[in-house]
Amino acid sequence: MLGRTFGALAAVLVAVGSLAVYNYLRPVDAVAASPLKAAVVRIAGQPPTIAWPSGAASAVGVPELGSLGSHGDSSPQPMASVAKVMTALVVLEGHPLTLTQPGDAVMVTGEDVADYQREKAEGQSVVPVQQGEPIGERQLLEGILIPSGNNLADLLARWDAGSIDAFVAKMNARAAALGMKKTHFADPSGFSAQTVGTPSDLILAGEALMAQPVLAQIVSEAQVDLPFAGTVYNVDYALGRQGIVGIKTGSAPKAGACFLFASSTKVGGRPVVVVGAVMGEPTLDDAFAASEALIASVLPGLQLVPVVSASEAVAEYRAPWGSRTGLVAEKDISVVAWPGLLLHRRVEGPGAKAPLADGAAAGSFSAWVGTGRPQSVPLLTDGPLFSPGNFWRLTRPFSDSR
């Protein structure tokens, strides 16, 4: 009987010992980073009243923030020559240029000359061409964005895609990719009344254009020299007023006057671009005046808000065995902000496997306002994360392994 008791006790001790050895040897879970800041906070303050034009559709935004609002008729309307913004985007993305490159030479065909003659007779905006003569890609882009040559838009479309229809399909696909949900292109120049959009959609195209250094440079030019045409002048004669650096005008009987604009400013010393659109004004002068008023009303609300300072802890690794280390920003982050919009903060990074040294890379911290582009900064540990001790490894609960 005594032998059986000792045998049972030995079996229990062996089982307990085996369990302790297993518990000691099994892997230790990674320690997840715990944020120390709220994920979302609202920017303090009262936004200024935006000077929306009466009787016209309009919208305004900042790439770092997203839309600041829209006003007026939100149904799609003819955009006229503002369509050439998308034409330029599609061409440049298919045939990239640097700021100093003229681009490929495009040979003028008989069809291009016939287009020029027909469109000139119809009273459209055109730029002279000559059959068999080459024109550089950059000059063609200047020709559609500065004097607004409808015939050059068609010429570029055929050169890029082989046909007008194929190019228009590319325009609509690019618009969809940008999120322009109420926009439809029927032609490369915008002469067709079936080429329609909304101010909010046009802002998305304007932001995409301003992100292309070549196109941003072109739309800021007051004049250029083109083959067969000589010196031509920018239809956007609001350049320089209220910081306006582009982008494109449009005017037609069914469209009224449209203006997709970009205005360059500085907020807390940081360059910022305000992008907006006005559609359906009686004249270009009215469209320019409305745009300048929009810009002037928006600027006072823009501010630079500090989000995190270098060496400030935004998260921590806190291990169940008692070891802890903070995760600190490698450098400052400040964001352009607008009162009432939401500031988003996010910590991203892998779980930590101990031991972890002081100053070890520990993922990143991102911040952004509204629907704007995030700014990110690397995170570093501000101290070591120690390995668990023997006692903890032996006695930890089995539920800690995920």
Angle at 24 between CA 22 and CA 30, to 5 degrees: 110
Q: How many other CB atoms sit within 10 Å of the CB of residue 373?
A: 13
Catalytic (active site) residue 248: no
Catalytic (active site) residue 37: no
Q: Are 339 and 47 in contact (CB under 8 A)?
A: yes
Q: Distance between alpha carbon 202 and the CA centroid of its chain, in Å? A: 14
Q: Which of 67, 70, 81, 220 is catalytic?
A: 81
Q: Which of 148, 200, 220, 251 is catalytic?
A: 148
Residue 81 DSSP label? G
Q: Which of 37, 67, 70, 84 is catalytic?
A: 84
Q: Is 316 exposed, middle or buried (0-12, 13-18, 19+ CB in 10 A)?
A: buried
HSE, side-chain direction, 13 A CA sphere, residue 143: 25
Burial code (b: 16+ CB inside 10 Å, e: under 16) for 225-263 equals: ebbebeebebbbebbeebbbbbbbbbbbeebbbbbbbbb
Catalytic (active site) residue 81: yes
Q: Residue 246 in 3-state DSSP?
A: strand
Active site residues: 81, 84, 148
